[in-house]
Amino acid sequence: MASVVKSFALAGVDAYPVEVEIDLLGGLPAVSIVGLVDTAVREARERVQAALRFAGYHFPGEKVVINLAPGDIKKSGSHFDLAVAVGVLLRSGQLAANGEPDNFAFAAELSLNATLRPCPGVLPMAMAARAAGIQHFIVSRENLREASLVGGLHVYAFATLQGVISFLNGETPYAPPPEEEMPVEDEDWSSIDFKDVRGQDALLEYIVIAAAGGHNMLMLGSPGCGKSMVARRIPTILPQMSEDESLEVTKIYSVAGLLRERGRLIRSRPFRAPHHNASISALIGGGSEAGPGEISLAHNGVLFLDEIAEFGKKTLDALRQPMEDRCVNISRVKYSNSYPCSFMLVAAMNPCPCGYYGQERCRCSDYEVLKYRHKISGPILDRMDIQKYVQPVNFLDLSGHSGGTSSAALRERVEYAREQQRKRFTGLARVNCNAQMTAAQVKEYCSLEGEGRRLLERAYERFHYSARAFHKFLKVARTFADLDGSPHLRRQDVAAALMARDMDREQAGMLVI
């Protein structure tokens, strides 16, 4: 009768139970691993054989068949090593029958000298174990803190295979590893502050609006005017993530193997700034394992695309669907992974190829300017709630001793507006800020009356905005109202929202309001 040991496989940011079945069929010595597995799983036969011999156990001298069920779903990773080793010892009688781990699950890679190595994705595995009713979970010592983030689950951590088998056989009681100082996982934003930004007071008002409502923003300006400097300080004014948001982000980084220190929820909102030569797979997600891309790593945070016009057109257009759906599906022939990607997109670009459009030093022709700006498609521009020109900073502002508004002061305003939104959206799934409102919610919470409605009608007659742009104006106006604590949209809120799209006004002439 085949022995059965439980483990887990990853599918996107979630995990599902896998039963590792081992049987001995007699005949010539051979090891066969089946169950739609990848190369990393197949190579477990060499790692397990070497680890068992080093630990003082013998590997069966007959044909060993290892099946990872269900067999119709692709499985990858080296974390099945420990489950395979336990199953082999159980089937060959080297692990006592009374030590059969019916209510145990295992996830760890084995080294050739029988030590347990950490593996990515332990957090979603622990969550899947709890959901499946499994009470005990054995991992490597490095994964202990990460797995322990999930309550209602007994987590055991060992350094060697010998320790695991001795514990399962009941020979030695479990001895928790010594407590270590809690690692610091959050980003350290103390070194940057908006007080270093000077001469951009008009821009900072829209930065606060973007952060308060989670709105996408495009900044256009000449080189050196402070676009990147401003963008990199946006995380310093964003509100703290909730427990659910922190868990979502930590799961993504755990699956991607990017947790710098395992064992602590990520509390700071992510800030991702990929280079403009990033491929579609790097930005959206993909590769042979259909892993998460930059947009998923920026989930609940900021994705900053500096020099957005230098990104490939196909790469930028691939953002369109994820920006609307706030999730991305990476499909392969046999399987599909889904990753969340609710992010605030902040982009920066020059107004022309040389960067000095409108100044005496600019030598770009109208055709060159038009061609440069057309690198960003209309649908992408339509999804940018705020489009603002960034003016060069006056020398007197830079040389002065007084600093700008601090991040702490700006964050107070952002948190006040977010609190209004939390009260409004209580009980609504997947809506945490104004930018995430659906069309039905926009109709309910952003009703227009009187002068505000007439003002928006005049803007539509001149600019012929799309339905998406119309809704985005209302969402931005709603954020302006939230900053002032107003329950209703006012004329000044609509006017301020219309002033948020400089490129539209430049193309069709200024709207008199």
Q: Is residue 498 domain-resident?
A: yes
Q: Is residue 482 domain-resident?
A: yes
Mean predicted confidence (pLDDT) in 234-244? 92
In this model, does residue 421 exceed pLDDT 50?
yes
Mean predicted confidence (pLDDT) in 251-265? 82
Mean predicted confidence (pLDDT) in 10-31? 92
pLDDT band at 95 (very low <50, low <70, confident <90, very high): confident
Mean predicted confidence (pLDDT) in 213-227? 93
For position 504, which CATH number holds?
1.10.8
| Measured CA angle at 297 (ends 295, 301), to 5 deg | 80
Q: Is residue 176 domain-resident?
A: no
| Domain limit, last residue, from 107, 133, 168 | 168
- Give the residues across from 37 on adjacent strands: 75
pLDDT band at 138 (very low <50, low <70, confident <90, very high): very high
For position 42, which CATH number holds?
3.30.230.10
* Residues 281 and 395 occupy one common structural domain: yes
| Dist CA 427 CA 420 (whole Å) | 14
Mean predicted confidence (pLDDT) in 11-34? 92
* Residues 317 and 219 occupy one common structural domain: yes
CA-wise closest residue to 82 among 44, 46, 54, 129: 44
Q: Is residue 428 domain-resident?
A: no
Q: Name the pairing type of β-strands 109-110 and 116-117.
A: antiparallel
* Residues 146 and 216 occupy one common structural domain: no
357-404 pLDDT tens trace: 888 889 899 899 989 988 898 889 889 999 999 988 776 666 665 667
| Dist CA 250 CA 217 (whole Å) | 26
pLDDT band at 2 (very low <50, low <70, confident <90, very high): confident
| Domain limit, last residue, from 414, 449, 468 | 414
| pLDDT at site 77 | 92
* Residues 163 and 212 occupy one common structural domain: no
Mean predicted confidence (pLDDT) in 179-206? 73
* Residues 50 and 142 occupy one common structural domain: yes
CA-wise closest residue to 78 among 289, 336, 358: 289
* Residues 145 and 38 occupy one common structural domain: yes
* Residues 398 and 251 occupy one common structural domain: yes
* Residues 442 and 366 occupy one common structural domain: no
In the numeric block, which tokens belong to residue 358? 């409108």
Q: Is residue 429 domain-resident?
A: no
User: Please, which residues have CB within 8 angstroms of residue 132's CB and are 6 or more apart in sequence?
Assistant: 17
- Give the residues across from 110 on adjacent strands: 116
Mean predicted confidence (pLDDT) in 72-92? 93
Q: What stretch of H or E contains 161?
A: helix 161-168
Indicate the number of domains in the chain: 3
Q: Is residue 391 domain-resident?
A: yes
* Residues 321 and 405 occupy one common structural domain: yes
Q: Is residue 423 domain-resident?
A: no
* Residues 52 and 8 occupy one common structural domain: yes
| Dist CA 360 CA 391 (whole Å) | 15
Mean predicted confidence (pLDDT) in 192-216? 91
| pLDDT at site 186 | 52
pLDDT band at 27 (very low <50, low <70, confident <90, very high): confident
pLDDT band at 184 (very low <50, low <70, confident <90, very high): very low
* Residues 265 and 316 occupy one common structural domain: yes
Q: Which residue bears the tokens 């060697």?
A: 160
| pLDDT at site 511 | 40
What radius of gyration, in Å, describes the C-alpha atoms of the chain?
28
| Dist CA 443 CA 471 (whole Å) | 9
* Residues 243 and 320 occupy one common structural domain: yes
**Domain encompassing residue 336:** 194-414
Mean predicted confidence (pLDDT) in 265-277? 93
Q: Is residue 337 domain-resident?
A: yes
| Dist CA 482 CA 495 (whole Å) | 15
For position 247, which CATH number holds?
3.40.50.300
